[in-house]
Amino acid sequence: PDHAARFREQTPESRSFHDYAASVTPLGVESNVRSFDPYPFYTERAEGSYIYDVDGNEYLDFLLALGPIILGHNHPDVVEAVQEMAETLDVTATPSPISIQFMEKVVEMTPSIETVRMANSGTEATMHALRVARSYTGKEKIAKPEGGYAGAHDYALQSVYADEEALGPADEPNTVPYGTGIPEAVRDTVVPFPFNDKEATEKILRKHADDMAAVIIEPVMFSCGCLKPRDGYHEFLRELTEELGIVLIWDEVMTGFRLGPQSAQGRLDIMPDMTTFAKAAGGGYQVAGFGGKEEIMAEIIPPGKNEGEKWNTSAFHGGTYNGHPIAAAAGLATLEVLDSGGVYEHIDRLGDRLFTGLQEAADDVGIPVNVQHIGSMGQVYMTDHDIHRYRDTWHANEDQFADWWLEAAADGVLFGNPMQGERFFTTLTHTEEEIDDAIEVAEDAFRAVNH
């Protein structure tokens, strides 16, 4: 059966818009992951739990911009903060109270962040954090879990996604650049290791310890769906990196301010040396940052600044739009709502209801599915294989997932985007009724693709 048929029927405007868009920009999209078969729909408006496309279709949104929309679209406090700032202060390249207030709030809420700097995207945050860690340790290599995504810069685009042949042995994987255009010299600075495999991780980190500046890792690996840490993996990694003098960077771009007011580090009670965040911290605006121990962040400060020493004696951090007043105002308004109580209780309860309901629906249909989730975030894997390492996700059926997603989208529900390696979310404006309706749509879609 053609699982895209109903989607195509309902989206004629998007289809012709896509032809036009593709003449303007490669693939007709602004970011590669927005492109899918048969073509993406184009979004015109968002409100609360819903987004609306150019054909006037309404979608119950669990994609939620891949993470930022934690209070629902266009939360009134965020809109008000943005409108007020838009009339007051644009960008000046001078520091402003609003971004300092935002950063103070980040420090107040995040247990391991003593001091922080702002950036405009998760990509920038991880890029700067890695430079600071290299500067602090005087070492060059970084380690990351295979399958992990830590942003779109060359140092992070290694072993993000590759097949078995390229990645090689599971206990000592090869470094595989994600796509073309990445210098080989950069590849040689990145060492991948298998998440949730303590023995292999230890062997690899010990082998490279003398050259290893940092480990950058997501507390829960949402960049390959939803891989939860097992058997004290993070406790082990915390101890090992401390022993080996390696900076432990938790990439909380996805989990930060999403898994709780104290982010994943509060929820799992583990203190990294540095943290990156973005997405939920901005409630829909371009907020990101990196922070950590004061001693490490001091690498940004030239040691003899007061004696006129220049920037080239320290780790450089800059950016015209860092701490943009509108983004900072949106971020502060978001964090204030998040910190005022009730939000996490709501999104986690609905997350439990949604992801448990999806597993039950699949089981009722009799289709092999493994749903993984923590709190308000999770993913549906089209396999009944155990999922706790990146290579387990290879058992999941990508095409069946895309078909299931399209069937649900045609019924007005967006379970993330049509890629097995993504994940989806609940948000403050979702209701129990919406969750139950979505589970019914999902069940019909499971039935439609169960062949």
Q: Which residues bind ligand PLP (CB under 6 A)?
A: 66, 121-123, 126, 149-152, 218, 223, 251, 253-254, 278
Location of structure tokens 């939920």: 280
Is the CB of 156 or the CB of 396 nearer to ligand PLP?
Answer: 156
Q: Using CB atoms, what's the residue nearest to ligand PLP?
A: 122
Q: Is 308 exposed, middle or buried (0-12, 13-18, 19+ CB in 10 A)?
A: exposed
Give me the least distance between CB of 281 and ligand PLP, in Å please: 11
Give me the least distance between CB of 358 and ligand PLP, in Å please: 21
**Which segments of 95-197 does DSSP mark as H helices, in order?**
97-109, 122-137, 164-167, 184-187
| Closest to 202 measured CA to CA, from 235, 250, 240, 234 | 240
Is the CB of 15 or the CB of 34 nearer to ligand PLP?
Answer: 34
The Cα–Cα gap between 142 and 165 comes to: 23
Q: In what order do the strands lie in the sheet with 413-414?
A: 43-47, 50-53, 58-61, 413-414
| Number of neighbours of residue 138 by Cβ within 10 angstroms | 7
Give me the least distance between CB of 130 and ligand PLP, in Å please: 12
Give me the least distance between CB of 277 and ligand PLP, in Å please: 9
**Is the peptide bond between 38 and the residue preceding it cis, with omega within 30 degrees of 0?**
yes
- Which two tokens mark 19? 């032809």
Is the CB of 8 or the CB of 34 nearer to ligand PLP?
Answer: 34
Give me the least distance between CB of 126 and ligand PLP, in Å please: 5
- Which two tokens mark 299? 């690498």
Is the CB of 66 or the CB of 408 nearer to ligand PLP?
Answer: 66
Is the CB of 3 or the CB of 317 nearer to ligand PLP?
Answer: 317
- Which two tokens mark 62? 């669990």
| Closest to 137 measured CA to CA, from 244, 237, 251 | 244
| Number of neighbours of residue 364 by Cβ within 10 angstroms | 11
Give me the least distance between CB of 250 and ligand PLP, in Å please: 10
Is the CB of 49 or the CB of 223 nearer to ligand PLP?
Answer: 223
Taking the alpha carbons at both ends of the chain, their separation in whole angstroms is 9
Is the CB of 3 or the CB of 423 nearer to ligand PLP?
Answer: 423
Is the CB of 347 or the CB of 435 nearer to ligand PLP?
Answer: 347
The Cα–Cα gap between 69 and 257 comes to: 11
Give me the least distance between CB of 223 and ligand PLP, in Å please: 5
Q: What is the 3-class SS of 199-233, one letter each residue?
A: HHHHHHHHHHHHHEEEEEECCCEHHHCCECCCCCH
The Cα–Cα gap between 263 and 260 comes to: 5
Give me the least distance between CB of 285 and ligand PLP, in Å please: 12
